[in-house]
Amino acid sequence: MARKPILAGNWKMHGSTAEATALAGGLAASVGAHEDRGVILAPPFTALATVLQAVRGTRIVVAAQNMHFEDKGAFTGEISPAMLADLGVDHVILGHSERRELFGENDEVVNKKVTSALAHGMTAILCVGETLAQRDAGDTLNVIGRQVEGGLRGVGADQADRVILAYEPVWAIGTGRVATPEQAQEVHAAIRSTLGRLGLPGDDIAILYGGSVKPDNVDGLMACADIDGALVGGASLDVESFTRIVDFQ
Ligand code: 13P
């Protein structure tokens, strides 16, 4: 299979422009030339321009962490796909569990964002994940199946090369409690078969794992057949630790 590993850093709401410049500049030097794996950095909106500048001429890709689905309008505080395109940003994280839990985004809203991003020629990084209560209730695969199906409604096979999935169990995010490779692999395999059921080329779509990925657990996760990369929060805020994650063995 020709899926290239993708290591993505979600900086969340962290960093001044000076800190973003230093972090992006450090990573440009350490991992900016990699050809055998993709590197994505998702800084906050306020640092997108400075990070784009810092990685210019490297192979690092810059992503937004969210966007509105409309092009423009009376949506105070929102950022549109056209605005991101204007900056030169063509990747966007959508449906992160923090957006779902803290800002009330449901599958319908996430789906509007995904289809809007794709219509604008952007790559959508669609996040899905179950809560601890859902896992304990044995409901993980149902929840994930619903989120994948709901998020990708209306997406065609011709757009699949601009779709990336990220499985992020909510209980593993920021908790230091990483899913075991077996737990993650089970869900990734299920996502891949759901993609097939939706008429999408599941074998070609990258599925990243996220949730407490660190330098000391990335190798075990990346050894799994259906884990194609990582979406990293806390450990992506440090040049040395994210470099080690990108350089997984
Ligand atoms: P942590 O790596 O800090 O657990 O965050 C994961 C995440 O939410 C990435 O999107």
CB of 15 closer than 8 Å to CB of 53: no
Residues 191, 211, 95, 105, CA torsion sign = positive
Q: Any idea which fold 67-226 has?
A: TIM Barrel (3.20.20)
With H, G, I as helix, E, B as strand and everything else as coil, classify residue 179: coil
CB of 200 closer than 8 Å to CB of 152: yes
Task: Indicate the pLDDT class of residue 2, thresholds 50, 70 and 90.
Answer: confident
Residue 1 has pLDDT above 70, yes or no: no
Nearest to 209 by CA among 193, 195, 191: 191
Check residue 67 and give its pLDDT: 98
Question: For the chain, what are the domain ranges?
Answer: 15-65, 67-226
| Model confidence pLDDT, tens digit, residues 158-200 | 999 999 999 999 999 999 999 999 999 999 999 999 999 999 9
With H, G, I as helix, E, B as strand and everything else as coil, classify residue 42: strand
**Residue 96: active-site member:** yes
Residues 23, 54, 30, 180, CA torsion sign = positive
**Residue 168: active-site member:** yes
Check residue 104 and give its pLDDT: 97
Catalytic residue among 98, 130, 168, 188: 168
What is the 57 CA–ligand 1 centroid distance (Å)?
27
* Mean pLDDT of the 129-142 span: 97
Which residue's alpha carbon is at the smallest distance from atom 7 of ligand 1? Answer: 233
What is the 74 CA–ligand 1 centroid distance (Å)?
31
As a whole number of angstroms, the distance between CA 67 and CA 79 comes to 5
| Model confidence pLDDT, tens digit, residues 108-119 | 999 999 999 999
Q: What is the pTM of this model?
A: 0.98
